[in-house]
Structure 1
C-alpha cells in the first residue's frame, strides 16, 4: 500500500502467481511478457475522503498524490486524506514522521477532517477519522478476499505481508476481518520492492533435450547449475525444482509442475488443480511440445530485516 494505490497478490507456497501471457496488457496493448498476477485498487496514503452529493461517505479512488499531498504536509492541500486521519488519531506522530526530517502540521489535518467530514456528518472528529480508516480498510479487505477466494484459496491459510509505507497501519484490521492468523511486516516496508531488486539474483540457462523419459535415467541431467554468484551467496543448499511448459496449440502454452512419477502424473495433477480453481477441468488437447525447465533457488543474505508479529 503506497500513496495512491494498493497492490494485492497471492503467493501460494511462497511463489507469486503469474499472469497468462494473453492477459498481460499495458494500456490498450498486449505486452506478451511475464507479469505477476496483481490487482490494484485506489487505496493509499493520499486517498481523499469526501461526502458526495448524495451524502455518501467515500474514501478514494481520488488521491492527493505527492503534490499537494495530504493537508498535514502543508503543501497547499486542503482535502482530508487517509494520512490526515492517521495524524488526527495519533497513529502517525508529527514529530517522528520520516524520522523527524519532515515537518507535519497536525492542526491542518484536524481542520481538513473536521471541515470536510465531521461537520457534514454531524460526527465528532475522532469518529470521522476512524471512519476514513475503516472505509479504506474495508476496500482492501474486499479486494484481498476476491483475489484469493475466487482463485480457490482460503485467506485463513495464508500470512499477510504488509508492504508499502502505509501497509502496516492497515494490516492488523484486514487480517482481523479475514481471519488471517499472522501479519509479516518488513523492516523497511516503504522500500521493500526497491530492496528486493538488488537482493535478487537470477541466471537463465537453456538447452534442448528431446528425450521423453524426464523422470528416469535422464532426470539427473535435467538439473540447474550448482555453481554461480547467486548460488555461492546462498545461506543453505540450493534446491532444484523442475516444471513443464506444455504447448497444445501455437498460441496456447501452459506451465505445469513436474511430478517425480512422470508426465502423465503431471498432467493429471494440473487437471485436479484446474478443477479446484475453476470447478471444472480443461479438455485434453493433444500436446505438441513439452519443455522441461529446471530452476535452482537459494536464500541469499540481505540487508533488509523482517520482523513477524502475531
Structure 2
C-alpha cells in the first residue's frame, strides 16, 4: 500500500488511533503487534464517533456480520450494511461517521510487511483500491466469520502464534479474492486511473489542472478523462477538486486556523472562491463545517 505522506494529512499508528478515538478504559486488550484482531462489537462500544479524518500507517479489514457503518473512504462517504468486508490500506484517507448499535464482526489490523508476504501486487490493488467493499451473503458470511473467530481466538492467547495467524489471514484473503473475481485482470485504464490518484494525492496543493497530470503521465487530457470517468466514475477535474476539499476538511479540524489561512495553504488566491468550491462539494460552507466539528467535540 502507498504510505507516502501527503502534506497536511495526519498519519497515525494503530496505537495513536486507540488513544485518539477509543475511550482509554477499553485499551487493556490493545497489543502493539504485527497483526491485531479485535471483536468489533466490543470495539465499537468505546469508539468516539464521528472521528476526524486521518491516514492510518497500517492496513485493516473490517468483517461486519451484523449492523451497519457509515465510513469515509477517500473522497466518498459509504454506508456499509452487513454482511460485508471493508478493506482499508495504509495511507488511505478515512474516518468513521456512525456505527449502528451493537454491530457484530471483527477488525483485523496488520502491517505492510505481512501483507506483501501473502498477496501479490495485483491482488493488493484489487482488494484495497479497485474493490474495497465486498458484500457477503448467507453462504459466504459464515465462512469469513469462522476464519475471523479463529483469528480472534488465537490473538487472545497469552502468546499469539504468528505461524497460525498468517495462514488464517491468507485463507480469508484468498476466499475474498474469489468473491471479487480473482481472474479479473487490471486494464490499462485501471493502471492509469490508479497512477493519477497517486499523483493527485502527492501534488494537489500546488497542481490543480488536468493538463499537469496528463503531461506527467505522457497522455492526452482526453484519455486521462476517459480513464478517470471509466474507473473513478468522475472526471479528472472533479477528482482533483474532491481531493482538495477532502484535504481542506482535515485542515478545518484545527480550530486555531481561519478559513482564509486554510485557503492560502491549499494555494487558493481567493478565499471566497475556495468557500464556493467547498460548499459545492459538501453542501455547507467551510465556517459551518468548523462549527459542526466543534459541536461534535
TM band (smaller chain): under 0.3
- TM-score, normalised relative to structure 1: 0.22
Greater relative contact order (Cα < 8 A, sep 6+): 2
| Greater percentage in helix | 2
Of structures 1 and 2, the larger Rg is shown by 1
- TM-score, normalised relative to structure 2: 0.23
